[in-house]
Amino acid sequence: MPSIESADTDSVAPEPTQPELSRREQRRAASDPAGHPERRHTKRRRRVIVWSSIAVVVIGLGCAIGWVAFQALQAKSALESAQGSVSKIQTQLASLDTTGLAASAKEFADAAHDARVHTDDPLYGFAEGVPIVGPNLTAVRELSTALDNLGSQALMPVVDFSAGLTPDSIRPSNGKFNTALLTTGDATLASADAAIVAQQAAVASIDTANTVGQIGSAQKLMTSALTKAHDQIGKVRTTLATAENVLGMNGTRHYVLAFLNNAETTALGGGPASLSLLTVDNGAFGITDQGSSQNFPTNDGPVREMDQNLINIFSTGINSTLNWSTARPDFPTAGESIKAWWEKYKSEKVDGVISIDPIALGYILDATGPVTLASGEQITGQNAVPLLLHDIYLRYPESEIQAQTDIFFADAAKSIFSGLTSTSADPQTLLTAVNKAIDTGNIMAWSPVAEEQKLMDGSKLQGVLPTDNSKSTVVGTYFRDVSVSKTDYWLATATDFTTDVCQNPQNPTFTMTATLHSTITPEEAATLAPFVTGAKFKGAKFSTQVFVYGPVGAAVTATSAGDTSVSATVLSSASDLGRPVARFQVDLAPGETNTVTATFQGAAGTYGPPILQSTPMMNPTVATATAAGCK
């Protein structure tokens, strides 16, 4: 039997032991053998603070990066919006859409300023020092600043000025143009140009070496655009300076106003039977002298030297008779001759020539309303043509017709000019009427000063034929009265044109047939004074020359006259203004009709759409064309 001691020893449970310490507690115990709990709590708080601080910094950095990224994206969006406005501005400038231009310019200025605001930020500026990203941010900020300056210092001042350029503001008042507009406009453009040059330099100096390609491309595009803007402003300022000269702001100017008589036809409309001198001094203008054909003798030799080829085509009358100075379909030629006539027989030096005829006056008077002459008689849009080209010749005895009509035309010219320059008519309606007269060839102008003549480049105001066929293939038919009469009031004309140029540009042919018909009756012809019917034939017949100008570079291949029972003669073929010319003469008794035909062979080349041109007749020429394949 086992002993009690032995049994007790075996049956007593072992004493409980402490659980195994965690590694963290073991480390803590090792570091704090004395077992101070306060020290352990302090260290724990420090660690929390450190990690919290790191978290705050990380979060702050994230917010800062996000904010900078947001600002950069907003700036990018604003710059893209500004770029879109530039395209609209260019289109509106080309079309002179001032209303649309103002809106687009404001869009540009607002977008550029918005971009500048987004890049003008402390955090954005701080981020510019960050490698890789920083140079891109800097370049965007500098581009934004330049665009904002451009909008506020250049674009908006010009737009604000142009908003005041209304038809009312440019309309003459009390015999004077608003010359202050030109002065203010030039100063505005000069200031804008200085801003453009400064921003161009600023953009060119932007360092894009370490930026993304898009920023470098934007810099190049902007530099190019500013260069073009600078060049364009330079051209506009040159134009303004030229306009200042034209308006006598740098010295008095004298212009001859030639009133063409369509009842006595020449290529450009009619002979300049009445001339007036328009004097312009610092924008103030008025008629200071006048003259009629009686003041310019026809027996005093040529008024100026002229190429013999022109004399061969148009005879010596082209430079020895005032009324035939408009015989060539080229107004610069006429302008030089009219200038020479005035300077030879009058005292003033001529600075330019402007022509206008009763047809143009009719268009303009439709817009302005009637003009009252010194006699109390009114000229209106409806009676201008019949009164000035027909009725006036029936008012006086035969012996007084020339003298009295000269007085009437002088009074009419001065009264009409005064009425037109003081009218209260709607400016846009008046401008539309003037443009119509220019498009139909009833108003033309010429200047001996190259810079001033250049102002009319591309406009029908120049009264010139195109020098090539690339944009349009012009074929012209022109008439000249050689009866020394006023009977083209009764002349009806028509042209019929055929060509295969659009189907066969390498070997095209062009055929023009002109029809002339006298609408006067034998009875009426017999009652008119020889001053009207022409002393040469006294109403028995009326003689008209026809000049058909073919395309540039072509050659005359055939000419013919129509009805052999009616007098029509092929005079010759020639060349003028780089074009072939077929010449005819048609003599018509009252009521007769005849035709003449010219065919041209064109050289291989580029041909624009066919355009028919003719003398601005009192009875408009009826034109028909057959051009297969042409638009």
Work out the burial of residue 12: count CB atoms within 10 Å of its CB; fewer than 13 is exposed, 13-18 middle, 19 or more buried. Answer: exposed
pLDDT digits (tens, 9 = 90+) for 249-269: 999 999 999 999 999 999 999
Of 392, 418, 453, the last residue of a domain is 453
Same domain? For 184 and 225 the reply is yes
Nearest Cα neighbor of 456 from 609, 246, 284 is 246
Whether 261 is in a domain gets the answer: yes
Beta bridge pairs of residue 623: 495
pLDDT at 472 over 90: yes
Same domain? For 443 and 359 the reply is yes
Same domain? For 199 and 215 the reply is yes
Same domain? For 288 and 394 the reply is yes
CA-to-CA distance for 347 and 446, rounded, in angstroms?
20
Whether 523 is in a domain gets the answer: yes
Q: How would residue 525 be classed by pLDDT, with cut points 50, 70 and 90?
A: very high
The tokens 């086992």 sit on which residue?
A: 2
Same domain? For 159 and 257 the reply is no
Structure tokens at 544: 């008209």
Higher pLDDT, 89 or 347: 347
- Say what percent of the chain tops pLDDT 70: 84
Residue 569: domain span: 467-627
Q: How many residues does the chain have?
A: 631
Of the ranges 96-110, 301-315, 345-359, 443-457, which one carries the lowest mean pLDDT score? Answer: 96-110
Higher pLDDT, 120 or 188: 188
pLDDT at 569 over 80: yes
pLDDT at 31 over 90: no
Structure tokens at 70: 């947001």
Whether 32 is in a domain gets the answer: no
Of 414, 430, 453, the last residue of a domain is 453
CA–centroid distance for 373 within its chain: 36
Whether 277 is in a domain gets the answer: yes
Same domain? For 357 and 402 the reply is yes
Q: How high is the mean pLDDT of the chain?
A: 85
CA–centroid distance for 254 within its chain: 26
Whether 5 is in a domain gets the answer: no
Q: What is the pLDDT of residue 164?
A: 77
Nearest Cα neighbor of 143 from 80, 79, 228 is 79
Whether 40 is in a domain gets the answer: no
SS3 of 64, please?
Answer: helix
The tokens 């009445």 sit on which residue?
A: 274
Of 228, 246, 264, the last residue of a domain is 246
pLDDT digits (tens, 9 = 90+) for 493-512: 999 999 999 999 999 999 99
Neighbours of 319 (CB within 10 A): 24
Same domain? For 473 and 561 the reply is yes
Nearest Cα neighbor of 419 from 430, 404, 405 is 430
Ordered strands of the 352-356 beta sheet: 284-292, 271-281, 253-261, 352-356, 443-446
Same domain? For 85 and 222 the reply is yes
Contacts of 612 by beta carbon, 8 Å cutoff, 6+ apart: 474, 475, 476, 477, 495, 497, 623, 625
SS3 of 596, please?
Answer: strand
Whether 260 is in a domain gets the answer: yes
Q: How would residue 46 be classed by pLDDT, with cut points 50, 70 and 90?
A: low
pLDDT digits (tens, 9 = 90+) for 582-599: 999 999 999 999 999 999
Give the mean model confidence (pLDDT) for residues 41-67. 51
Q: What is the pLDDT of residue 44?
A: 60
Ordered strands of the 491-499 beta sheet: 555-561, 593-601, 509-518, 491-499, 622-627
Give the mean model confidence (pLDDT) for residues 368-375. 88
CA-to-CA distance for 48 and 354, rounded, in angstroms?
94
Q: Are 154 and 197 in contact (CB under 8 A)?
A: no
Residue type at 616? Answer: P
Q: Are 427 and 337 in contact (CB under 8 A)?
A: no
Q: What is the pLDDT of residue 28?
A: 53
pLDDT digits (tens, 9 = 90+) for 393-431: 999 998 999 899 999 998 888 888 888 777 778 878 888
CA-to-CA distance for 31 and 47, rounded, in angstroms?
16
Nearest Cα neighbor of 493 from 563, 582, 585, 594 is 594
Same domain? For 542 and 425 the reply is no
Same domain? For 55 and 183 the reply is yes
CA-to-CA distance for 15 and 30, rounded, in angstroms?
26
Q: What is the pLDDT of residue 53?
A: 46
Provide the whole-model pTM: 0.81
Contacts of 53 by beta carbon, 8 Å cutoff, 6+ apart: none
- Number of structural domains (the chain) is 3
Whether 34 is in a domain gets the answer: no
DSSP secondary structure of 212-270: -HHHHHHHHHHHHHHHHHHHHHHHHHHHHHHHHHHTTBTB-EEEEEEEEETTS--TTSS
Nearest Cα neighbor of 437 from 486, 488, 371, 365 is 365
Give the mean model confidence (pLDDT) for residues 537-555. 95
What CATH number is attached to the domain comprising 379? 3.40.630
Give the mean model confidence (pLDDT) for residues 371-389. 92
Residue type at 187? Answer: A
Same domain? For 239 and 274 the reply is no
Q: What is the pLDDT of residue 543?
A: 96
pLDDT at 8 over 50: no
Same domain? For 297 and 426 the reply is yes
SS3 of 43, please?
Answer: helix
